[in-house]
Amino acid sequence: MKAIVISAYGGPEVLTVTELPDPVPAPDEVLIRVKAFGLNHAEAYMRAGAWGEVAAVPGIECAGVVESDPSGRLAPGAAVVAILGGMGRTRDGSYAELVTVPATNVVAVRASLGWAELAAVPEVYATAWSGLFGNLDLRTGETVLVRGATSSLGQAAVSLAVDRGAQVLATTRTPAHAALLKELGAHDVLIDDGLLAPQVKERGIAVDAVLDIVGNSALRDSLATVRARGRVCQIGFLGGFDPVPDFDPIADLPTGVQLSFFASAFVLGGPAFPLADVPLEQIYAKVAAGTLRAGPVRVFRFDEIVEAHRVMESGQALGKMTVTVD
């Protein structure tokens, strides 16, 4: 099979198309013929070596058809999506014509969408859903601030929160991107200069919950942005991996504020966070109906993977990008 491998840890140019033996599924795995896969910042971190030694073939999600399911649960040819389960991290991932995935991380799909559209949904929507409704327990009528909202994960979070009936404050560092977030249904857009707490206070807004995709560099400010007894969930690291310097719960964690973390790449699909808890079928139905906006902003060919990673890391995509596998 053709596969894209990390020839050495580094920039996008280290991604190389090569031939590898076809994988063989274990009894608790599903072999998938990949039709398309999504691009995720996690894959750039792995490619660069930021997460230590990882599998040779990147890719944490895909859409395709079942080639073989030893358990008999899924029939050959069935359309499926697969997320995580160690793909790209501890086992070869979805940047390939074929991939084996733990059965717990494979979901049958019936939506009338193309492969590139199917591949744009799983990781960002499952992660956003888990952060918003699992960790934050976001309810109708509450106010949620999505920090890092122009990212593909942020846009999914805005769409899901609006669909739930929450009032959404979305943030961006670029004023020109405010219109995009308004189109997604954000009630208001804040320009993130690193200090959102003063902006929220000046506007007299009581923020019930913060979904923080920027991460450690913004965590102190996110904790100060939420109301008393509010909730903050950190779910990304767009601001970099450097730890929060000299973090002191007494000084930095407001009394009563709940802080949680969701690391989808490590837990989603596992026993504690089963993929069955995420209503992917309903999400796909809403995407097909146009209620949720999840189409890829750009689709690349398999042999354009280096350019695809360059565009992803430039921060200019403004949405989810996918790659089709011929």
Same domain, 157 and 222: yes
- Same domain as 26, residue 51: yes
Domain membership of residue 288 (yes or no) is: yes
pLDDT at 127: 97
**111, 110, 157, 109: which is closest to 131 by C-alpha?**
157
Q: How far is CA 36 from the centre of its chain?
A: 16
**How far, CA to CA in Å, does 244 sit from each of 41, 216, 235, 240?**
20, 5, 15, 10
Residue 267 within any structural domain of the chain: no
Distances (CA, A) of 88 to 39, 58, 62, 192, 285: 12, 4, 11, 32, 28
DSSP per-residue string spanning 223-284: HHHSPTT-EEEE---TT-SPPPTT--HHHHS-TT-EEEE--HHHHTTSTTS-GGGS-HHHHH
Encode 13-30 in three state secondary structure: HHEEEEECCCCCCCCCEE
Alpha helix positions (H), the chain: 41-48, 115-118, 122-129, 152-164, 178-183, 196-203, 219-225, 249-252, 264-267, 280-289, 305-314
In a domain, 225, yes or no: yes
Are residue 156 and residue 219 in the same domain, yes or no?
A: yes
| End residue of a domain, out of 212, 235, 262 | 262
Co-location of 86 and 99 in the same domain: yes
Regarding whether 69 and 23 lie in a shared domain, the answer is yes
CA distance 308 to 317: 10
Query: Residue 88: left (phi > 0), alpha (psi -120 to 50), or beta?
Result: left
Q: Which of 233, 262, 291 is the last residue of a domain?
A: 262
Same-domain pairing of 132 and 114: no
Residues 135 and 242 occupy one common structural domain: yes
Of the candidates 89, 278, 15, the residue with the CA atom closest to the CA atom of residue 4: 15
Phi/psi of residue 143, nearest 5 degrees: -105, 125
Judgement on whether residues 24 and 72 belong to the same structural domain of the protein: yes
**Local mean pLDDT, 10-residue blocks, the chain (326 residues):** 98 98 98 98 94 96 98 96 96 98 95 93 97 98 97 96 98 95 97 96 96 95 97 93 91 95 91 93 94 93 98 89 95
Which CATH number fits the domain that encloses residue 166?
Answer: 3.40.50.720
Residue 268 in any domain: the answer is: no
Residues 296 and 258 reside in one and the same domain: no
Q: Are residues 242 and 148 in the same domain?
A: yes
Position 178 scores a pLDDT of 96
pLDDT of residue 157: 98
What's the number of domains the chain is made of? 2
**Domain C-terminal end among 262, 291, 314:** 262
- Give 222's contacts (C-beta < 8 A, 6+ positions apart): 145, 147, 196, 210, 212, 214, 232, 234
108 and 28: one domain? yes
Quick one: 40 and 168 in the same domain? Answer: no
End-to-end C-alpha distance for the chain, whole angstroms: 12
In a domain, 13, yes or no: yes
CATH number at residue 52: 3.90.180.10
Three-state DSSP class for 67?
strand
Let me know: does 269 contact 84? Beta carbons within 8 Å. Answer: yes
Provide the domain limits for residue 85. 2-120+273-324
Residue 163 lies in a domain: yes
